[in-house]
């Protein structure tokens, strides 16, 4: 714990357990001179809810450390889905558990968070923030190619949709009510956190219509947001020019809204 007479040093702590499952671990990057006003970025990896790992978002950490040297960073793993154990609700429960762990820790940080999620991780970050964050501790979201509305006809007709719904919801994924319950865009309200969106015009997995539907909801409630479409971009794997633009826009948005 920090006290008035203690100067805390910067610290990187890897594979910290926030739950009892071996997949419930996080890497934590703590700045020096932190205190109970220190804000925290939470990174959530993608992988179709059934794969991936926190290392996928390691490339963002030096960007954040450079632009926000006084902020903490938590890079999460979570329990992966399989055919016998769908992603929902266990992965939302993991985000809840991870945030509760951070809130109750002795890291000397605040309870103000911003999510940066990619693909399935962006979906989880949005769903938690728009629907389950009743304390409104999440102040901003960066959504990178995340599914946002499972009722979107352009998405339901997409070849990838059945695979996504199966891993996310199991057999329940075939029912309209279940799809509504895991569609972040449908839970946007006036208290939702500021959101920046990045999508690829040639994404073969998540159609850009997802961003348009999400942006419409955010605009309806006057939630600060930005939508950036990289016309020739796919589902990540963007070129150096796009990545440079992405970095600049991400940092600028977070500087203004977090």
Tell whether 160 is covered by a domain.
Answer: yes
- Number of structural domains in the chain: 1
Task: Provide the token pair at 134.
Answer: 């009743």
Its domain, for residue 104, covers 11-257
CATH of the domain at 160: 3.40.50.1820
pLDDT tens for each residue of 150-170: 999 999 998 888 888 889 999
Tell whether 1 is covered by a domain.
Answer: no
Q: State the pLDDT confidence band at 39, using cuts at 50, 70 and 90.
A: very high
Tell whether 3 is covered by a domain.
Answer: no
Tell whether 137 is covered by a domain.
Answer: yes
| pTM score, whole prediction | 0.96
pLDDT tens for each residue of 191-216: 999 999 999 999 999 999 999 999 99
Tell whether 4 is covered by a domain.
Answer: no
Tell whether 2 is covered by a domain.
Answer: no
Tell whether 147 is covered by a domain.
Answer: yes
């Amino acid at each position: 714990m920090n006290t008035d007479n203690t100067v805390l040093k910067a610290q990187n702590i890897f594979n910290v357990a926030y739950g009892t499952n071996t997949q419930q671990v996080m890497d934590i990057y703590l700045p020096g001179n932190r205190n109970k006003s220190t804000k925290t970025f939470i990174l959530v990896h993608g992988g179709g809810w059934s794969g991936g790992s926190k290392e996928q978002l390691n490339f963002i950490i030096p960007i954040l450390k450079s632009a926000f040297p006084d902020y903490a960073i938590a890079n999460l793993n979570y329990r992966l889905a399989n055919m016998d154990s769908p992603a929902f609700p266990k992965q939302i429960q993991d985000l809840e558990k991870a945030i509760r762990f951070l809130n109750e820790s002795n890291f000397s940080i605040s309870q103000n968070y911003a999510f940066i999620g990619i693909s399935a991780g962006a979906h989880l970050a949005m769903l938690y923030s728009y629907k389950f964050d009743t304390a409104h501790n999440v102040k901003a979201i960066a959504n990178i190619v995340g599914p946002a509305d499972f009722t979107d006809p352009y998405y339901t007709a997409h070849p990838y949709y059945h695979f996504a719904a199966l891993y996310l919801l199991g057999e329940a994924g075939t029912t309209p009510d279940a799809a509504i319950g895991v569609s972040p865009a449908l839970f946007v309200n006036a208290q939702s956190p500021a959101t920046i969106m990045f999508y690829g015009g040639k994404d073969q997995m998540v159609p850009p219509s997802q961003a348009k539907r999400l942006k419409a909801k955010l605009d309806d409630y006057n939630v600060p947001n930005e939508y950036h479409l990289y016309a020739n971009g796919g589902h990540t794997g963007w070129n150096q020019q796009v990545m440079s633009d992405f970095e600049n826009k991400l940092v600028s948005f977070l500087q203004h809204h977090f």
